[in-house]
Chain A
C-alpha cells in the first residue's frame, strides 16, 4: 500500500529575473513503513519537493496524495522535521512534544503520557522540564523528532535534519533514528546531502538530477549487515555508495551552476 504518491509534479518559481523550473515531472511513491531517502546536488529542488509534500509550498501542476487523498495545505498527517529544529523556545521539552496533541484537543493527562513515552524514546527523560535554550543541537533535534512522532503522522518528512550537527552527534542521531523508526514502523521521506547517511537509513534511495529536478534513479538498499556505523565499511555498502556517487557526479556541473 502506498502512503505517499507523487505524480507528474512540476514546480516553477516566477522570479523577477525570469522563471525557475525547480521540479520537472517528478513521480515516485513511498510505501507504508518504508524509509525513502532523496539525494541530489545542491539546488536541485529537494527542499522544494518536501515543502510541497508538506503543504508549505504550492505546486505548479501534478498531484501529491497521502493514502490516496490529494493534499491541500499543511496538516498533521504529514509531520515535518526541519534542519533548524524550530522548537518553540517558550515551551519546555515536554510541552513542545505535547504541542500537536494540544492542537488536536487531546486531554491533558493523555497528552502528557504520550509525550513522556516519546521523550523516553529519544532518551531525554532527564530534560523533560528544560527549555530548548538549555539543550545542545542534537538534543534539540531529538525533541523535534519526538514532537513530530507524538503527533502520529502518516508520514514523517525530514529535510536534512542532521545537517547542522557535528559528525559524531550526527552518527548517533542516525543510529537512534533508524532504531526509532524501526520500532514505530513510521513511513519516512528523508532528504540529505550525505551519501553515507542515505544508505545507512534508507530502504530506498532516490537520486535527483540537477535543476530542473527529476528523479534520476531509484535504488533499493539491501544490506546484510546491521545498520550502524560499522556498516560504513561493509562491502555491499561500499558498492552502493560507488553507484550513487557516480550518479551524483554526473550531475555535478564543474563550472558551477551555469544553467
Chain B
C-alpha cells in the first residue's frame, strides 16, 4: 500500500521534473512549452477573475449530464440485450454500426437538429459514450454467474424480480467499472463538443488559445481536465467501494 503510493507519486514527480528541466533549461522555446511559472501565473490570474472555475464548472456539467443520460438509457438496454436474443438481434447491428461513427462527423448534424445551445453539447457527449456503454454493459451482464440466475429462478423469482434483485445486483460491480471508464471517454468528447459553436468551457479556451499561441492557457486547460478526470475517477472508486462492498477485485488493497 505504502509502496504503491510512493511509486505513483514518483511517476508524477518525474513528469514535473522533466517539464522543469526542458523549460528552465531552455531546451525548448517558451512559446511551445510554457514554464511551470508561466502556467501557475495563468492559473492564478484566471482563478482570481473566476473564469477558470466557471469554465471548469460548465465543462464538468456538460460531461456529467451528457454521460448520465447515456448511462441511464444504456443500462436497461444493455441488460435486456444480454438476456434476450431477440432484442440483441434487433439492437446489435445498430449499436455496432453507430459506435464506429466518429462523433466529430456528427457535429454538423447535431447543430442542424438541436441548434447550438447546451443540449447540443449534451447530445455530443451522449453520442460519444452511449453505444460503447450499451455494448460494455451487455458484456458485463452476459458474464454474470448463470448459477445465480438459476438459483433465483428455482427460488421463485419472477421476471422483474430476476432483473432487479439478481441480474442488476450481480452485474453492478462490473457496471460501475464500465461507468468509470466511459466517464473518462466523455471528457474526450467534451473537447469535440466545445470545438464548434461554444463560448465557454475548458475545451473552448484550449482551442481559442491556439490562435494566439497561448500555450500557457492550453497547458492550464489540459492540467485541469486531467485533474478533474483524476478526481472523478477517485470519486467513482470510492463510490464503488461504498455501493458494492462485497466485491473484491484483483489488485485491490
| Interface positions of A (Cβ within 8 A of B) | 54-56, 73-76, 78-80, 82, 84, 86-90, 99-100, 102-104, 131-133, 144, 147-148, 151, 157
Contact = CB atoms under 8 A, between A and B. Distances in A.
Contact of A86 (B148, B161, B247): B148
Contacts of A104: 156
A78 B151 CA distance: 11
B144 to A, nearest CB: 11
B154 interface: yes
A112 B57 CA distance: 48
13 contacts: A56-B153, A76-B154, A76-B155, A80-B150, A84-B145, A86-B145, A86-B148, A90-B172, A104-B156, A132-B246, A133-B246, A151-B155, A151-B156
B244 A74 contact: no
A86 B152 CA distance: 9
B169 A103 contact: no
A100 B155 contact: yes
A134 to B, nearest CB: 10
B84 interface: no
B147 interface: yes
B147 A86 contact: yes
Interface residues of B, number: 22
Contact of B155 (A90, A133, A147, A157): A147
Given A88-B166, A90-B169, A90-B246, A74 B148 contact: no
A144 to B, nearest CB: 8
Contacts of B248: 133
Contacts of A157: 154
B65 interface: no
A89 B147 CA distance: 12
A122 B27 CA distance: 74
Contacts, number: 73
Contacts of B165: 99, 102-103
A119 B151 CA distance: 18
B154 A74 contact: yes
Nearest to B145: A86
A87 B166 CA distance: 11
Contacts of B151: 80, 82, 86-88, 144, 147
B169 A79 contact: no
Contacts of B150: 54, 56, 74, 80, 82, 86
Nearest to A144: B151
Enumerate the 9 nearest inter-chain pairs by beta-carbon distance, A residue then B residue, closest first: A76-B156, A100-B155, A86-B147, A74-B153, A86-B151, A80-B154, A103-B156, A90-B246, A103-B157
A153 B242 CA distance: 36
A236 to B, nearest CB: 35
Given A75-B156, A86-B150, 15 more contacts: A54-B150, A82-B151, A87-B151, A88-B152, A88-B166, A88-B169, A89-B246, A99-B155, A99-B165, A100-B155, A103-B165, A133-B246, A147-B155, A151-B155, A151-B156
A103 B161 contact: yes
A147 B246 CA distance: 19
A103 B147 contact: no
A87 B165 CA distance: 13
Interface in B229-253: 244, 246-248
B47 interface: no
Contacts of B172: 90
B158 interface: yes
A83 B152 CA distance: 15
A87 B145 CA distance: 10
A148 B147 contact: no
A132 B156 CA distance: 21
Nearest to B169: A90
Contacts of B145: 84, 86
A82 B147 CA distance: 8
Contacts of B247: 89-90
Contacts of B147: 82, 84, 86
Contacts of A103: 152, 155-158, 161, 165
A6 to B, nearest CB: 17
Contacts of B153: 55-56, 73-74
B154 A75 contact: yes
Interface in B147-206: 147-148, 150-158, 161, 165-166, 169-170, 172
A82 to B, nearest CB: 5
Nearest to B150: A56
A72 to B, nearest CB: 13
A191 to B, nearest CB: 15
Contacts of A131: 246
Given A86-B147, A88-B148, A88-B169, A54 B154 contact: yes
Contacts of B148: 86, 88
